[in-house]
Chains A and B, each alone.
Chain A
Amino acid sequence: MKDMRSQVYIWERSLAILPDTIFLDIVRNFIGKVPTPFHKPLLTKKLTTLFSTDEFLARVEASLSPTDRQLLSGAYVLGSPTQDELCSIFSDSISYATLQQSVVNLEERLLLVPNPDTFEHSAGLMINPLVVDRLLASSLSLEDIFVPSSDVDTPHYRFLGGDPRIVRALLSLHIHTMLGSREKSEKALTTKHIQNVFGQDDTPFIERVLLYNRMLFGEKVLIEQGRSTRIDINRAQLVLSKDPQELQLLLFQTAFASMQPQTPKIAKDLPFRAFFTILSTLLDTVPVHHHKGLKTACLMASYRSRLPIADMEEFLALLSTVGLAPMQKPKGNHTNQTHLQPTIDSDLTISFTEDVPVIENKDLLHCLAFVRKVDVVTSYEVNKATIMRAFDLGLTVEEILEYLEGLTQSIPQGLQNLIGHWKDEFSSIVIYDGILVKANERLSRIIEALPTLQPFLISRIADGMYLFSRSSEAQWREILSATGIGLLPRSITDAAHHSTSSIESSTVHTDMEMLRPIQEPIRLLAVRRPGKDNPTALEFQKELKKAILAKASNKGEQEEMLARLERKLILVPSQISAVQGRTQTMQASGFDFQGKINLCKAAVNSTVELLELHILDNDGNSQILLTEAKELINSTKDASIRVLVLPDGEEKVLPIEKIFKVRKLRRSIFFQM
């Protein structure tokens, strides 16, 4: 919530950007006749005063219909939606034509006003800053958007959360069984043997495991090198340290990138993170039980985050793969039960529930043990091969023992000396990756005598034969050159072959604070708070109608004012005055063929008007289309009109004689399209 001064400031900016004609039209409705020339700031002030009056605001609240509340609640979550966005999130339950006109009505009632920050580029709307707090306190709620189930046990959609146990298991499988390249590992992960590890063989779960695998490649934890795969242990630790929500997000990004491979970059951008945050906040805040509700939530998250969704059904399937599913509240009295802390048995099986803790900043289980089962209890096995592999990865006996002791508190007697024996065996042969340098006697003397070269010298193999480090070739070549050797033979190293082992910073920002502002409105809207004891709309409308009938000087004025009353444009007696110009909706129907043609003609290529066409479909059912008129074909008896049907923009050519009613409607009070 913002303070009153800043709200007035935003409100004034919002009105200031309106063209004078539109501003005048609006002002007339609220404060009656306006003499010209007019003083815009003064008029704005008058409006501000009106919208700050308690009686007026109470009537604003009372006049809200369920659709109004739905749209305003939606607008509050979306922040700055366009008219089209606002309509489309509810178009599954209410006709688009009704929604569009409801939005226009909220615009003319100044409950939705242009957002001055987005006015130029996206025609965004926002709730009138002068009423937003009041509405929020009593009238707006997510329950208007997502109808809650009366049964609290009904499963509702939630993200499972990323599962570090699966990540660790995959790392262990890659390290100890060499799942191989991305392609090979994808095949291997669908085999029965591997599925037994995870205890599940249902397709969505397997797809999720494959997604985790892809994520590890995508995050460069696993790096393909020809047919094999190298593991970046530091990056692995980074991924494992993420909380379940962050992990879920990573998985989501991976899935999204694979769904839209042509735009992989978008997956790394803030909109993506915003989308995920909004969706998960929505689902955490209000129980969404149905597919329809989930779709609405996705659309809202999409519009709010500016992350486009090309195909909603495909996208929902992707969410399901990622781990979004209807879940029931856990039942029973199992919540107080202690988790099984990691223990290591004499058969060298490590068992635990949950995931393993980090021991002195080290997370090494997958490096030194092979995953046997990931289930309620997860188990890993230590054996000679796994420890050898750990040595291969550069772990020392001390590190391994320290880690295991920290993890399990006590390790079996035999394991300590077994690891020692395995280390002896592992060390019985050492394979160096180096470059053999053969030098003549003179140069040999230099090599052996030069202290700066010694750190790069792995071993003196024989007289005049030296093994130098490959990774520091550039440095020792420079030192050798500096001794005056002159032209050294060309390097045999393919520099590209050796990637550096430095850890790049994660491409994913973990700063959830950035997204707090967009989570706020959702949480504020969680439930409707009881409102003040306001008058009912019916009571004051009756009184206003009486006053209109008494005040109108002619039938035209009376009709015009009653129409405004009907559209909730008149809320207090001070608004009862005739305004210049027609404000009623123009329509033609039945045998008024020419009237229909005239309305169509007037709307063709209009930037401010739409046509509502009532037609009969092939089955004889009445159908209402909201359209943009594009072309009137002929103006004779067989005239047709070419239109784009909203919201999808489908082009249709309709014979006028098939249209039994035409209404010319305002597209928007504030915007021209």
Chain B
Amino acid sequence: MNNMDDKPLIIQSDLSMMLDVHSPAAEDARNDLIAFAELVKSPEHVHTYAISAISLWNAASAGISVEEVLGRLEKWSRYALPEPVVFHIREIGGRFGCIQLLPYPENDDVYLLKIFHDRFVREIMARKQIAAMLTPVQEGFLIPRYQRGELKLQLIKLRFPVDDRIPLEHGEPVPVAFRETSSRGVDFVLRDYQKFAADSVLGNGGPGTGYGTIVLPCGSGKTIVGMEILTRLSTRTLILTTNVAAVHQWIAEISDKLDIDASQIGEYSGVRKEIRPITVCTYQVLTWRPDKDADFPHMRVLKEGNWGLIIYDEVHMLPAPVFKITAELQAVHRVGLTATLIREDHREDEVFSLVGPKRYDVPWSELESQGWIAEAECTEIRVPLPRNLEISYAIGSKREKYRIASENPEKMQIVKDLIDNHPEDFILVIGQYLDQLKIISKELGAPLITGATGNARRDELYRLFREGKERILVVSKVANFAIDLPDASVAIQVSGTFGSRQEEAQRLGRILRPKKQSSHFYSLVTRYSSEEEFSANRQKFLTEQGYNYHVEVWE
């Protein structure tokens, strides 16, 4: 039971922080924390935040001093600040500002790097890779413009944050604003959290602002946040997303909600190669090349478009070659959008360094309680393995075991039963293995969308689903991300990519658009199999967001 005077924050000596969400001041404390700490998890009772070197430096770059950070911690901390915490914050945070990157008026092709401590100079110059980028001059060191990102990345790896004082370029102006009423005739108002998210990236427009990553739950309108930033900057904008269907969704949304002529919006994909003031492009086309030794011919779109803003949709999917080129685009406003910043390759830090730090993150449960995303009931249904597969399963390799469990034919009947239980709902049946999905599609008589389905056919099926003409879609992992199906309210997951947490969250995300009734997420798992273990791992992200899985056994 909380006392009204209780402070909500408990600070651990490893710089993690526990926010007691039942404390009356929890919300105010959260708002103070997000500027310099990252939300790690947000289940129903105790939320965890972490202060890292990068989060402190990002806060410093946005003008929040070490003393301000300590003041906020002192203000909200339930107990005295542990001494190591104060020491570390001062020690780590104090590094910011010791190295500055400045314009070099005498030559526009280079920047000036100033290092204020001799010890830092010696340490940095001892690294051959960094030393090779630097040319000593009287005032400091010069670096070529295109190596700005790479240098910052290398220095941050050495725990030297660069105070980048070079203003971002504004690109060619593109006048654009939100319509008061969308072209579909719906009144449009920006939600508070969407506005705060945009504010958190753009800040006051000074150095250290204008780039960053926004983490918002699926269905909460990340696209709108991207468009808000676009309208505020009103500049040539490149939007990168995961697939053609998503490209079309972005274009449709922009056309619907922004006051801009369709001729100003371009699609740059495998099918079309349009470069216009607002261009939406797939990661796939950027990273396409004729053979593995060749250059990426479409990468020039990024470099040569004179963009003032690049939006990285589903930034957790950013492919490695785009990372590389992003390092060269440090003069451009950059926004990363994602619901689940979990990379199985653990390159989250690089996303933060190159695209921009996490500027805004909100617990899913909070948006759910405010009605901005649908309430979802998650159920794991455990299905027995048929007797005839028991031996195959027992003698199979790990991978074979997982596949046998995933493709358990008993799941078919459950899918049918679940569909029967939801006669009014729009349903997605989502799976990993094409053979399994084909059987399900055939048995249900429902259309199937996989990687092999042509873009036109995909768009057509999504359209039919949105229009209510198809009630059930059977989809492979191509529908994991960036597909907006507002009316989908039931998802049945028949198989998945091993223990992928973000896949599970993204799949749940397909049914989180707010609607009158609750959404239902079913995960079918073979009982007493390795699928149970993988399933537990898959659920981690969502349980950390406060989702409870109800487990049922199908007898």
Residues of A within 8 A of B (CB): 196, 199-200, 330-332, 334, 336-338, 340-341, 343-349, 351, 353, 373, 375-377, 383-384, 412-414, 417-418, 421, 425, 428
A489 to B17: give the CA distance in the assembly, Å.
65
Which residues 511-555 of B sit at the A interface, judged by CB distance below 8 A?
Answer: 528, 532-533, 536, 540, 543-544, 546-553
A351 to B22: give the CA distance in the assembly, Å.
14
Listed A/B pairs (19) with beta-carbon separation below 8 Å: A200-B84, A334-B77, A336-B3, A337-B7, A337-B79, A340-B78, A343-B46, A344-B45, A346-B44, A346-B544, A346-B546, A346-B548, A347-B43, A375-B14, A377-B10, A383-B536, A414-B550, A417-B552, A418-B551
Beyond A345-B546, A346-B547, A414-B548, 16 additional contacts (C-beta under 8 Å) are A199-B14, A200-B13, A331-B80, A334-B78, A337-B5, A338-B1, A338-B78, A341-B1, A345-B543, A347-B43, A347-B543, A375-B13, A376-B13, A417-B551, A418-B551, A421-B551
B43, closest chain A residue (CB): A345
The answer to whether B20 has its CB under 8 Å from any CB of chain A is yes
The answer to whether B12 has its CB under 8 Å from any CB of chain A is yes
B365, closest chain A residue (CB): A346
Contact A332 B551, CB 8 Å, known A199-B13, A377-B10, A421-B382: no
A199 to B14: give the CA distance in the assembly, Å.
6
Min distance, Cβ A75 to any Cβ of chain B, angstroms? 41
A638 to B518: give the CA distance in the assembly, Å.
110
A337 to B533: give the CA distance in the assembly, Å.
40
Residues of chain A contacted by B6 (CB below 8 angstroms): 337-338
Q: List 3 tightest A-B contacts by C-beta distance, closest first.
A: A345-B43, A347-B543, A375-B12
A373 to B544: give the CA distance in the assembly, Å.
16
Residues of chain A contacted by B5 (CB below 8 angstroms): 336-337
The answer to whether B41 has its CB under 8 Å from any CB of chain A is yes
Residues of chain B contacted by A418 (CB below 8 angstroms): 551
> Judging by beta carbons under 8 Å apart, are B10 and A353 in contact?
yes
The answer to whether B18 has its CB under 8 Å from any CB of chain A is yes
The answer to whether B11 has its CB under 8 Å from any CB of chain A is yes
A409, closest chain B residue (CB): B1
A376 to B46: give the CA distance in the assembly, Å.
13
Min distance, Cβ A475 to any Cβ of chain B, angstroms? 38
A417, closest chain B residue (CB): B551
A503 to B457: give the CA distance in the assembly, Å.
73
Min distance, Cβ B368 to any Cβ of chain A, angstroms? 13
> Judging by beta carbons under 8 Å apart, are A376 and B543 in contact?
no
The answer to whether B2 has its CB under 8 Å from any CB of chain A is yes
A337 to B553: give the CA distance in the assembly, Å.
44
Residues of chain B contacted by A348 (CB below 8 angstroms): 543
Residues of chain A contacted by B16 (CB below 8 angstroms): 373, 375
> Judging by beta carbons under 8 Å apart, are A337 and B78 in contact?
yes
The answer to whether B82 has its CB under 8 Å from any CB of chain A is yes
Min distance, Cβ A397 to any Cβ of chain B, angstroms? 14
Residues of chain A contacted by B540 (CB below 8 angstroms): 347
A340 to B12: give the CA distance in the assembly, Å.
13
Residues of chain B contacted by A373 (CB below 8 angstroms): 12, 14, 16
> Judging by beta carbons under 8 Å apart, are B536 and A384 in contact?
yes
Min distance, Cβ A269 to any Cβ of chain B, angstroms? 38
B543, closest chain A residue (CB): A347
Residues of chain A contacted by B79 (CB below 8 angstroms): 334, 337, 353, 376
A383 to B532: give the CA distance in the assembly, Å.
12
> Judging by beta carbons under 8 Å apart, are A414 and B549 in contact?
yes
Residues of chain B contacted by A351 (CB below 8 angstroms): 18, 45-46
A413 to B548: give the CA distance in the assembly, Å.
7
Residues of chain B contacted by A344 (CB below 8 angstroms): 45
> Judging by beta carbons under 8 Å apart, are B533 and A384 in contact?
yes
Which residues 75-91 of B sit at the A interface, judged by CB distance below 8 A?
Answer: 77-80, 82, 84
Residues of chain A contacted by B544 (CB below 8 angstroms): 346-347
Residues of chain B contacted by A428 (CB below 8 angstroms): 528
Residues of chain A contacted by B10 (CB below 8 angstroms): 340, 353, 376-377
Residues of chain B contacted by A375 (CB below 8 angstroms): 12-14, 16
Residues of chain A contacted by B7 (CB below 8 angstroms): 337
Which residues 1-36 of B sit at the A interface, judged by CB distance below 8 A?
Answer: 1-3, 5-7, 10-14, 16, 18, 20
Residues of chain A contacted by B11 (CB below 8 angstroms): 376
A352, closest chain B residue (CB): B46
A425 to B527: give the CA distance in the assembly, Å.
9
> Judging by beta carbons under 8 Å apart, are A347 and B78 in contact?
no
> Judging by beta carbons under 8 Å apart, are A340 and B82 in contact?
no
Min distance, Cβ B78 to any Cβ of chain A, angstroms? 5
A351 to B18: give the CA distance in the assembly, Å.
9
Residues of chain B contacted by A414 (CB below 8 angstroms): 548-551
Residues of chain B contacted by A349 (CB below 8 angstroms): 43, 46
Residues of chain B contacted by A421 (CB below 8 angstroms): 382, 551, 553
Residues of chain B contacted by A347 (CB below 8 angstroms): 41, 43, 540, 543-544
Residues of chain B contacted by A345 (CB below 8 angstroms): 43-46, 543, 546
A425, closest chain B residue (CB): B528
Min distance, Cβ B41 to any Cβ of chain A, angstroms? 7
Min distance, Cβ B465 to any Cβ of chain A, angstroms? 30
A351 to B20: give the CA distance in the assembly, Å.
10
A331 to B5: give the CA distance in the assembly, Å.
18
A330 to B82: give the CA distance in the assembly, Å.
11
Min distance, Cβ B387 to any Cβ of chain A, angstroms? 15
Residues of chain A contacted by B547 (CB below 8 angstroms): 346
> Judging by beta carbons under 8 Å apart, are B12 and A199 in contact?
yes
Min distance, Cβ A70 to any Cβ of chain B, angstroms? 36
A418, closest chain B residue (CB): B551
Most chain B CB inside 10 Å of its own CB: which residue of A346, A383, A384? A346
A336 to B79: give the CA distance in the assembly, Å.
10
A417 to B12: give the CA distance in the assembly, Å.
33
Residues of chain B contacted by A337 (CB below 8 angstroms): 3, 5-7, 78-79
Of B14, B382, B543, the contact of A196 (CB 8 Å cutoff) = B14
A383, closest chain B residue (CB): B536
Min distance, Cβ A333 to any Cβ of chain B, angstroms? 10
B46, closest chain A residue (CB): A351
Of B13, B82, B536, B550, the contact of A413 (CB 8 Å cutoff) = B550
Most chain B CB inside 10 Å of its own CB: which residue of A332, A337, A353? A337
A348 to B528: give the CA distance in the assembly, Å.
21
B5, closest chain A residue (CB): A336
A343, closest chain B residue (CB): B45
Min distance, Cβ A391 to any Cβ of chain B, angstroms? 15
A196 to B546: give the CA distance in the assembly, Å.
25
B11, closest chain A residue (CB): A376
A39 to B13: give the CA distance in the assembly, Å.
75
Residues of chain A contacted by B80 (CB below 8 angstroms): 330-332, 334
Min distance, Cβ A662 to any Cβ of chain B, angstroms? 57
Min distance, Cβ B70 to any Cβ of chain A, angstroms? 13
Residues of chain B contacted by A383 (CB below 8 angstroms): 536
Residues of chain B contacted by A199 (CB below 8 angstroms): 12-14
Residues of chain A contacted by B20 (CB below 8 angstroms): 340
A141 to B46: give the CA distance in the assembly, Å.
50
Min distance, Cβ A376 to any Cβ of chain B, angstroms? 5
> Judging by beta carbons under 8 Å apart, are A340 and B46 in contact?
yes
Most chain A CB inside 10 Å of its own CB: which residue of B41, B547, B548? B548
Min distance, Cβ A133 to any Cβ of chain B, angstroms? 44
Most chain B CB inside 10 Å of its own CB: which residue of A331, A347, A349? A347
A200 to B10: give the CA distance in the assembly, Å.
17
A336 to B78: give the CA distance in the assembly, Å.
9
Min distance, Cβ A207 to any Cβ of chain B, angstroms? 18
A335 to B303: give the CA distance in the assembly, Å.
58
Which residues 308-341 of B sit at the A interface, judged by CB distance below 8 A?
Answer: none
A331 to B79: give the CA distance in the assembly, Å.
10
A330, closest chain B residue (CB): B80
Min distance, Cβ B333 to any Cβ of chain A, angstroms? 36
Min distance, Cβ B65 to any Cβ of chain A, angstroms? 22
Residues of chain A contacted by B12 (CB below 8 angstroms): 199, 373, 375-377
Of B18, B41, B552, the contact of A340 (CB 8 Å cutoff) = B18
> Judging by beta carbons under 8 Å apart, are B46 and A346 in contact?
no
Residues of chain B contacted by A376 (CB below 8 angstroms): 10-13, 18, 79, 82
Residues of chain A contacted by B44 (CB below 8 angstroms): 345-346
